[in-house]
Amino acid sequence: MIADPVGRAVFTACSPAAAWGQTDDIGKTIVADPVSVPDFFATICAAVGVDYRATLHDGDRPVPITDQGVPIGELFG
């Protein structure tokens, strides 16, 4: 993480121009490396330093942050 002079934080965990997967020519169909919603969310959490394996509690009920998602490791250098 890098702080700019204004006090905002810039997270540098992923490459700035990182892209993952591939779609057809019109962007309608995934043709390579699909990502589930839990994996996508786990990747975002990992990039900003949130423990994606953690569990929150709603009263007595445990609620996993990412529903067992796993970050896309290839995006992190």
pLDDT of 8 higher than 80: no
Separation CA 68–CA 65 (nearest Å): 8
Of 10 and 57, which is predicted with more confidence?
Answer: 57
pLDDT tens, position by position, 25-49 = 998 999 999 999 999 999 999 989 9
Phi, psi at residue 38, to the nearest 5°?
Answer: -60, -40
Q: Is 77 helix (H, G, I), strand (E, B) or coil?
A: coil
Phi, psi at residue 28, to the nearest 5°?
Answer: -95, -35
Look up tokens 């529903």; give the residue: 67
Q: What is the DSSP string of 14-27?
A: B-TT----EE-TTS
State the maximum Cα–Cα separation within the chain, in Å, rounded to a whole number. 48
pTM: 0.69
